[in-house]
Amino acid sequence: MDTITQTPANVREVTDTSASAPGVENPDTAAPPELPEEQRELVFELRDLEIRYSGHTAVREVNIDVAAREITAFIGPSGCGKTTVLRSLNRMHDITPGATVHGTVLYHGENLYGPKVDSAEVRRRIGMVFQKPNPFPKTIFHNVAYGPKINGRKRSDMSDIVEEALTRAALWDEVKDKLNKSALGLSGGQQQRLCIARALAVEPDVLLMDEPCSALDPIATARIEDLMEELKRDYTIVIVTHNMQQAARTSDRTAFFTAEIDDAGKRVGRLVEYDVTEKLFTAPSDPRTEGYITGRFG
Amino acid sequence: MAVEAPPRSQDQPAPAPKGLGGGARPPGIATDRLFRVIATAAGLLVLVILGLIAWTTTKNAWPWFKAEGLGVFADNWNPAKNQFGAGAMIYGTFLIGLIALLISVPVSVGIALFVTEVAPRRVRKPIIYAVDLLAAIPSVVYGLWAFAALRQPLADVYSSISSATSGIPLVKELTADPSPTGLSFMTAGIIVAIMITPIITSLTREVFATTPEPLKEAAYGLGSTRWEMIRGSVFPHSRGGVVSAVMIGLGRAIGETIAVALLIGSSQTISAHLFGPGDTLASIIANQFGEATGEYRAALIGMGVILLVLTVGVGMLARGVVTRYDKKMGVSG
Amino acid sequence: MTSVGTAVAGASRLTPGPKSRSRRVRNWVATVVIGLAFLIAMVPLVFLVVYVVQQGSKAFSWEFLTTNPPFSDRLPGGGMAPAVVGTIVITGAAALMAIPLGILGGIYLNEYGGKNALARTVRFLAEVMTGVPSIVMGLFIYTLVVVNTGERTGFAGSLALASLMLPIVIRVTDQMLQLVPRELREGSYALGSRRARTIRTVVLPKAAPGIVSGALLAVARAAGETAPVLFTIGIVAEPNWNVFKGPNTTLSQQIFLNATSPFAPAQERAWAAALTLILIVFVVTILARIVTAFFSRRQGA
């Protein structure tokens, strides 16, 4: 049983007395941590979050608390705002023309969209892995070193930083002899793990994953799911997934989104239900959730 | 591929055969073939004209090539003494190209970045139109304007810089002997820089715009500032295209004639004095062709041949750079 | 672990620390420099246009466009009628040759040639040809036509300008035709239309706005050219409407010849000629843009 100490998220102290080998289903980690609600350390608090593209609402009424070192999954049919909400968590909408974010997003109690907040610093702390692996057309080494370099880490530390990041992403053994080869020569699954390593290299405390396995084959997918299990010990993970079973397998809490047609006839996404994963999948509160997970609509 | 006419139904009379041959030939096929021939001929016209250009100019320049041999590259232009070495003009052509590129490329890249990454969407088109207006102005008008309005102020600037740097060892070689009229390499180079900026900007802009969104998002996602993203994603992606754009700009600069002819001051010896007069292959032809006969004229035409070879060569290099760079980086769409 | 902010209790995690402040500064400086680049490019444009308008409007008038120049450069007054006429007929003749041939050549490249070796060569050479300096075109026609016929005519200048315009029109036609969707052609073939008719009735109309616009830009460029006409058309002091017979003159040539004149009246005429030329070029350029904007909106492109 992991002992989760209340420390600032930047310092990772995890005393793990039970070694869980990757791939082995550990019932303890599949079940929610047994902290009562008030003691959960909250990384994100979303209150009445609404996001609009060029004035048109894409998703609204999102109220979610994401706790530290948990995996939170966003599920739901296409076009209901899961990715839109995810991208608001690291202010990626700043660079999307026409996108506006309304409501509140708190990160460790601070307003993520406050006036003095530096969005570059936000994205260093809240990392992102994208749907399709997007390594830079550089060497494996330089892909991972990119982030630390712009953050001013010393050249002399770089090899260690790269090695540690690749190890955490479970890729080190496969690439340690070809760090100087182009990243584009790796397989899809390896590229995605490289992207994870790249994100980890800047020492974030959150990892946002936007359907990270949708472009990968089942074996590569399984490896990444195992990786997420390990990463969960040190990082908070929020994952958008189309794959319900994946959410059920890996996440601690799940948020189910759906799309409605508003008065103007346009699709608007909304949060339907957000709960501990096991409960959401076995005894959902909302009939729409039940409809989705039993496959009545998809 | 031409499609055959649809089969006639039974109750329709057979249409009168049209075109050559009559009888069984379907109607309209002759015009179709004729059109194809005409179009192909028009396309081949390009080969014909280019071939003619190369041939007649070389033929008329031959007396010069024959008389001088490798002396065509000598720095000894003096028609009065029957000396027709074009070395100074070749030098001048490249010097103008260099000055123009040094000034134009940073500005063009800056504008291209401005349009693709910095400026808000709505202003992009107007900015592009404004920069393209620079290209619409005829070379002779640039020359006239610079001759009348820029020459004297620049001459003053040159003489100030020249006196200010007269003590600095290497620099003074470049800044010595400023032309009192302002007619010089530098003046011509500045105007040529203005003239080639629109094309370099346009090509660079197109290359920058092809930077894949995922590449940019990857950089932002790691916490890059916009400038860091440009350096980390846009520039590496665009290297080949920018080099090619620069070479195309160089090609234009090399061929620029009229503005240079009005501003460069007509001096035919190799000199390092940027603020002093010079000549290029193109400008000397424009300025001296009227009075030339015999080998003199052949020499001027011959310099046109050299100019042709240079511009075609640079153009092909530009193409070659793009294809080689794309292959090397394994560029995916 | 170098996370900024953990050491100081209560400090915000998200406001920039000292290191990221320098990155911010660098970003801001880069943005400013980039913005400056545009302004730097606009300075000569504005300066030039203002200056030409200022100087040119002194002598510019309807009389200027319709009167001949005085027999001596020293004398004030007069106009550039011969040059105006010359620019119109010489550029016009060049356009009449280059545009149809260029469109046909572009049609060959895109509709008949496709990817075969000949078409690839032609395409490549057309691109090479756009890079040939205009003075070389002038030398070309001089050695080919003027030397052999012994005379300088407006038509020789037209030939040189046409050689300049041809590759431009070919390339723009090729590019515009490529943009026409395959489905449009197939629809026409399926109705029994042959290729030539399909091109004429379906493909060309669709590509027309882009082609017209490109052709207009080529005309604007040709009207402003000096080098190709410098040794091919001679010079005249009276309007010559016959492009085939006898020498001629153009606005660009007159500007070039008068630019360095020591006499103020000649300079004034040169400025007015420059203003005229810029007006022509700008009007044609803007027309080209209007064609693109108007017709592509109509076609619902």
Asked whether the beta carbons of C232 and C246 are under 8 A apart, the reply is no
CA C47 to chain centre: 21
Chain A residues with CB-CB distance to C24 below 8 A: 118, 120
Residue of C nearest to B49 (CA): C163
Which of C4, C97, C136 should be substituted to probe chain B, the one whose Cβ sees the most B Cβ atoms within 10 Å? C136
For residues A102-121, give the mean pLDDT.
90
Residue of C nearest to B52 (CA): C140
pLDDT at B161 over 70: yes
Query: ipTM surpassing 0.85, yes or no?
Result: yes
Chain A residues with CB-CB distance to B330 below 8 A: 137, 182, 184
Pick the range with the lowest mean pLDDT from B5-9, B225-229, B285-289, C211-215. Answer: B5-9
How would residue C73 be classed by pLDDT, with cut points 50, 70 and 90? confident
* Minimal Cβ distance to C20: which of A107, A114, A121: A121
Q: Do the Cβ atoms of B218 and A122 come within 8 Å?
A: no
Q: Do the Cβ atoms of A117 and C24 come within 8 Å?
A: no
Q: Do the Cβ atoms of C224 and B130 come within 8 Å?
A: no
φ/ψ of residue B170, rounded to 5? -75, -35
Smallest Cα distance from A287 to chain B, Å: 36
* Minimal Cβ distance to B217: which of A121, A134, A135: A134
Q: Do the Cβ atoms of C255 and B144 come within 8 Å?
A: yes
Dihedral angle sign, alpha carbons of residues B177, B181, B182, B185: negative
Q: What angle do CA C208, C211, C213 make, to 5 degrees?
A: 105
pLDDT given at position A31:
46
Contact residues of C toward A, CB < 8 A: 1-3, 6, 12-17, 19-20, 23-24
* Minimal Cβ distance to C23: which of A110, A112, A120: A120
Asked whether the beta carbons of B73 and B90 are under 8 A apart, the reply is yes
B6 or C21, higher pLDDT: C21
pLDDT at C155 over 80: yes
3-state secondary structure of B293: coil
Mean pLDDT of chain A: 85
The string over C209-243, giving b where at least 16 C-beta atoms fall within 10 Å of a residue's C-beta and e elsewhere, is bbbbbbbbbbbbbbbbbbbbbbbbbbbbeebbeeb
Smallest Cα distance from C8 to chain B, Å: 22
How would residue C9 be classed by pLDDT, with cut points 50, 70 and 90? very low
Residue of C nearest to A7 (CA): C6
Dihedral angle sign, alpha carbons of residues B50, B52, B58, B61: negative
Q: What angle do CA B135, B140, B145 make, to 5 degrees?
A: 90
- Say whether domain B66-328 belongs to CATH 3.30.930.10: no
Q: Does A152 touch chain B (CB under 8 A)?
A: no
Q: Do the Cβ atoms of A150 and B215 come within 8 Å?
A: no
Q: Do the Cβ atoms of C14 and A152 come within 8 Å?
A: no
pLDDT given at position C188:
87
How would residue A105 be classed by pLDDT, with cut points 50, 70 and 90? very high
pLDDT given at position C16:
65
Nearest-angstrom CA–CA distance, A29 and B156: 80
pLDDT given at position C295:
80
Asked whether the beta carbons of A235 and A205 are under 8 A apart, the reply is yes
Which of A86, A91, A95 should be substituted to probe chain B, the one whose Cβ sees the most B Cβ atoms within 10 Å? A95
DSSP track, chain A: --EE----TTS--EE--S---TTS--HHHHSPP---GGGSPEEEEEEEEEEEETTEEEEEEEEEEEETT-EEEEE-STTSSHHHHHHHTTTGGGGSTTEEEEEEEEETTEETT-TT--HHHHHHHEEEE-SS----SSBHHHHHHHHHHHTT--GGGHHHHHHHHHHHTT-HHHHTT-TTSBGGGS-HHHHHHHHHHHHHTT--SEEEEESTTTTS-HHHHHHHHHHHHHHTTTSEEEEE-S-HHHHHHH-SEEEEEEEEE-TTS-EEEEEEEEEEHHHHHHS-SSHHHHHHHTTS--
pLDDT at C72 over 50: yes
> Which domains are assigned to chain C?
83-298 (1.10.3720.10)
Chain C residues with CB-CB distance to B53 below 8 A: 132, 136-137, 140, 163
Smallest Cα distance from C9 to chain B, Å: 24
Nearest-angstrom CA–CA distance, A277 and A33: 12
- Please identify which residue in the block is written with the tokens 């405390």: A205
Q: Do the Cβ atoms of B223 and A151 come within 8 Å?
A: yes
Q: Does A151 touch chain C (CB under 8 A)?
A: yes
Residue of B nearest to C129 (CA): B50
Smallest Cα distance from A3 to chain C, Å: 22
Question: What does the domain layout of chain A look like in residue ranges?
Answer: 40-130+205-293
Nearest-angstrom CA–CA distance, B93 and B91: 5
* Minimal Cβ distance to B222: which of A95, A97, A123: A123
φ/ψ of residue B126, rounded to 5? -55, -40
Q: Does A184 touch chain B (CB under 8 A)?
A: yes
Q: Do the Cβ atoms of B220 and A95 come within 8 Å?
A: yes
Q: Do the Cβ atoms of C1 and A114 come within 8 Å?
A: no
pLDDT given at position B14:
55
Q: Do the Cβ atoms of B56 and C144 come within 8 Å?
A: yes
Chain B residues with CB-CB distance to A199 below 8 A: 221-222
For residue B236, give the amino acid letter: P
Q: Which residues contact B132 (CB under 8 A, 6 or more apart)?
A: B198, B202
How does DSSP classify residue C8? S
CA C126 to chain centre: 16
For residues C213-234, give the mean pLDDT.
94
Mean pLDDT of chain B: 88
Smallest Cα distance from A128 to chain C, Å: 17
Predicted confidence (pLDDT) per residue in A207-216, tens digit: 999 999 998 9
pLDDT given at position C94:
97
Percent residues over pLDDT 70 in chain C: 92
Closest CA to A76 of A67, A94, A64: A64
Q: Does A40 touch chain C (CB under 8 A)?
A: no
Chain B residues with CB-CB distance to A132 below 8 A: 214
Nearest-angstrom CA–CA distance, C190 and B188: 58
Nearest-angstrom CA–CA distance, B302 and B291: 16
pLDDT given at position C18:
64
DSSP track, C212-268: HHHHHHHHHHHHH--HHHHTTS---SS----SSSS----HHHHHHHHHT-S-HHHHH
pLDDT at B25 over 70: no
Predicted confidence (pLDDT) per residue in A33-85, tens digit: 555 566 678 999 999 999 999 888 999 999 999 999 999 999 998 888 999 99
Q: Does A112 touch chain B (CB under 8 A)?
A: no
Residue of B nearest to A181 (CA): B329
Smallest Cα distance from B89 to chain C, Å: 15
Nearest-angstrom CA–CA distance, B116 and A232: 39
Q: Do the Cβ atoms of C3 and A116 come within 8 Å?
A: no
B150-157 contact pairs (CB < 8 A, 24+):
B150/B182, B150/B187, B150/B190, B150/B191, B151/B181, B151/B182, B151/B183, B151/B187, B151/B263, B152/B182, B153/B182, B154/B182, B154/B186, B154/B187, B154/B190, B155/B179, B155/B180, B155/B181, B155/B182
For residue C225, give the amino acid letter: E
How would residue B304 be classed by pLDDT, with cut points 50, 70 and 90? very high
Say if residue C135 is exposed, middle or buried (CB neighbours under 10 Å; 0-12, 13-18, 19+). buried
Mean pLDDT: which of B169-183, C187-201, C208-222 is highest?
C208-222
**CA separation, residue C130 to residues A143, B40, C135 (Å):** 41, 19, 13
pLDDT at B13 over 60: no
Q: Do the Cβ atoms of C14 and A118 come within 8 Å?
A: yes
Chains that touch C (3 or more CB pairs under 8 A): A, B
Pick the range with the lowest mean pLDDT from A277-286, B133-142, B154-163, C11-20. Answer: C11-20
What percentage of chain C's residues is helix, strand, coil (to nearest 5)? Answer: 75, 0, 25
Predicted confidence (pLDDT) per residue in A249-261, tens digit: 899 999 999 998 8
Asked whether the beta carbons of C253 and C83 are under 8 A apart, the reply is yes
Mean pLDDT of chain C: 88
pLDDT at C237 over 60: yes
Q: Does A124 touch chain B (CB under 8 A)?
A: yes
Smallest Cα distance from B229 to chain C, Å: 10
How would residue C186 be classed by pLDDT, with cut points 50, 70 and 90? confident
Q: Do the Cβ atoms of B31 and C196 come within 8 Å?
A: yes
Q: Do the Cβ atoms of C16 and A121 come within 8 Å?
A: yes
Nearest-angstrom CA–CA distance, C297 and C301: 6
Q: What stretches of B114-230 show up as alpha helix (H) in DSSP?
A: 121-136, 139-145, 151-164, 171-175, 185-209, 213-221, 226-229
Predicted confidence (pLDDT) per residue in A220-273, tens digit: 999 999 999 999 999 999 999 988 889 998 999 999 999 988 888 888 999 999
Q: Do the Cβ atoms of B255 and C34 come within 8 Å?
A: no
Q: What stretches of chain B show up as alpha helix (H) in DSSP?
A: 29-68, 87-113, 121-136, 139-145, 151-164, 171-175, 185-209, 213-221, 226-229, 235-255, 258-263, 281-288, 294-329
Q: Does A189 touch chain B (CB under 8 A)?
A: no
Q: Which residues contact C100 (CB under 8 A, 6 or more apart)?
A: none
Q: Does A161 touch chain C (CB under 8 A)?
A: no
Pairing of strands A56-67, A206-210: unpaired
Percent residues over pLDDT 90 in chain A: 61
Write the class of the CATH domain A40-130+205-293. alpha beta
Predicted confidence (pLDDT) per residue in C92-144, tens digit: 999 999 999 999 999 999 888 878 888 889 999 999 999 999 999 999 999 99
Chain C residues with CB-CB distance to A203 below 8 A: 1-3
Predicted confidence (pLDDT) per residue in B65-99, tens digit: 988 888 888 888 888 888 888 999 999 999 999 99
Chains that touch B (3 or more CB pairs under 8 A): A, C
For residues A97-119, give the mean pLDDT.
90
Asked whether the beta carbons of C282 and C221 are under 8 A apart, the reply is no
Nearest-angstrom CA–CA distance, B62 and C117: 32
Smallest Cα distance from B169 to chain C, Å: 31
How does DSSP classify residue B301? H
Smallest Cα distance from A63 to chain B, Å: 24
pLDDT at B157 over 70: yes
How would residue A86 be classed by pLDDT, with cut points 50, 70 and 90? very high
Specify the length of chain A in residues: 298
Q: Which residues contact A70 (CB under 8 A, 6 or more apart)?
A: A33, A232, A236, A237, A251, A252, A253
pLDDT given at position A34:
52
Percent residues over pLDDT 70 in chain B: 89
Asked whether the beta carbons of A124 and C19 are under 8 A apart, the reply is no
Mean pLDDT: which of B22-26, B117-121, C85-89, C262-266 is highest?
C85-89
Chain A residues with CB-CB distance to C14 below 8 A: 107, 110, 112, 114, 116-118, 121-122, 125
pTM above 0.95, yes or no: no
Smallest Cα distance from A128 to chain B, Å: 6
For residues B112-132, give the mean pLDDT.
91
**CA separation, residue C82 to residues A142, B92, C46, C236 (Å):** 67, 35, 30, 7
C-alpha distance across the termini of chain C, in Å: 55
